[in-house]
Amino acid sequence: MEGRSFARFGKNNMSRVGEKPIDIKEGVTIKLEGHKVEVSGPKGNLNLKVPFGIKVEIKDNQIFVTNSKPKVKSFKALHGLIRTLTFNMIYGVTEGFSKTLKIVGVGYRVNLEGNKLVFSLGFSHLVEITLPEGIKFEVQGNDTVIVSGIDKGLVGETAAKIRSFRPPEPYKGKGIRYEDEHVRRKAGKAGKAGAAGAGGAE
C-alpha cells in the first residue's frame, strides 16, 4: 500500500475521526521512519506514506495522528484519512479483509485454474483474471468467489474489477454481484405491456 493518492479528500468531519487514538493490537509491530508508517502483523506487512503536515506518533501502545494545520480544510480531511488508513492497516495484518461475489445466470460459472480465475459469462470467449500480488482467490461451487487480502483498498479494487466483467443487468439480474448487493429490477417490455393492460381493465 505504497504512495496512495490524496487528491480526493473526505468530508470535513474526517478531522474528528483523526483525533481518535488507535490501539495497537497484540502481535502488531509499528515502525515510524520519516514520513512512512510500516505495520507488521501475523498476516503480513503494509506501509503508508504520510503527507506533509500530518504526523503519526506512538504513546502508551496507542497511535496518535496529529494535524499541523488544523484550520486548513484539506488538512482536516487528510487528518481523518490517514487515521483511517492506519487503522485499516492494523486490522488488515491481524484480521484481513474479504469480499464475496456471486455469479448469477444459466451457464455462468467460474473456475480457479492455478493462479487465475476463469469465467464463463455468456460471451463468445472466456474471461480471465490473474491473481494480483497480495490477493487470495477462493472459489466455492462454480458461482461464488471470495477475494481476500490484508490491503482493504486492493481487495475492494480487485472485487470491483471482477464485478465489472459482467455487472448485474436490471431485468433478470444476471451477472456478477456482491454477496450483499441488492439489484434493483426493472420490468421487461412484456411485463410493462401486461401491467398496462391490467391497469386499463374494468
- For residue 190, being part of any structural domain is answered with no
Specify the pLDDT at position 41.
Answer: 97
Phi, psi for residue 48 in degrees, rounded to 5: -140, 135
Residue 186: the pLDDT is: 74
Structural domain boundaries enclosing 85: 14-94
Mean pLDDT, to the nearest integer, of 153-171? Answer: 95
Distance from C-alpha of 190 to C-alpha of 187, rounded to nearest angstrom: 8
Tell me which amino acid residue 172 is: K
Grid coordinates in use for 179?
Answer: 454477496
Residue 18 maps to which CATH number? 3.90.930.12
Do 161 and 107 have their domain in common?
yes
With a cut of 60, say whether residue 26 has pLDDT above it. yes
* Average pLDDT over every residue of 130-141: 96
Residue 9 to residue 2: CA distance in whole angstroms: 18
- 5 located within any domain: no
Q: Quote the CA–CA distance of 133 and 136 in Å, as a whole number.
A: 8
165 occurs within a structural domain: yes
% residues pLDDT > 70 (the chain): 83
pLDDT grade for 15, boundaries at 50, 70 and 90: low
Q: Is the dihedral of CA 43, 47, 53, 57 positive or negative?
A: positive
Q: Which cell is 113 given?
A: 485454474
150 in the same domain as 101: yes
In a domain, 73, yes or no: yes
Query: What is the model's pLDDT at position 1?
Result: 47
Q: What is the pLDDT of residue 188?
A: 60
Q: Is 40 found in the same domain as 22?
A: yes
- Segment 36-62 shows an average pLDDT of 95
Q: Give the single-character DSSP code of 160.
A: H
**Residue 60 domain flag:** yes
And the C-alpha cell for 89?
Answer: 492497516
Residue type present at position 158:
T
Are 108 and 168 contained in the same domain? yes
Most confident of 15-24, 62-71, 155-164: 155-164
CB neighbour list of residue 9: distance below 8 Å, 6 or more residues apart: 74, 77, 78, 81
| Residue 89 belongs to a domain | yes
Element (DSSP H or E) covering residue 191: helix 189-200
168 in the same domain as 114: yes
Residue 13 has pLDDT above 70, yes or no: no
Count of domains for the chain = 2
**Does any domain span residue 193?**
no
**pLDDT tens digits, 186-199:** 766 555 544 445 45
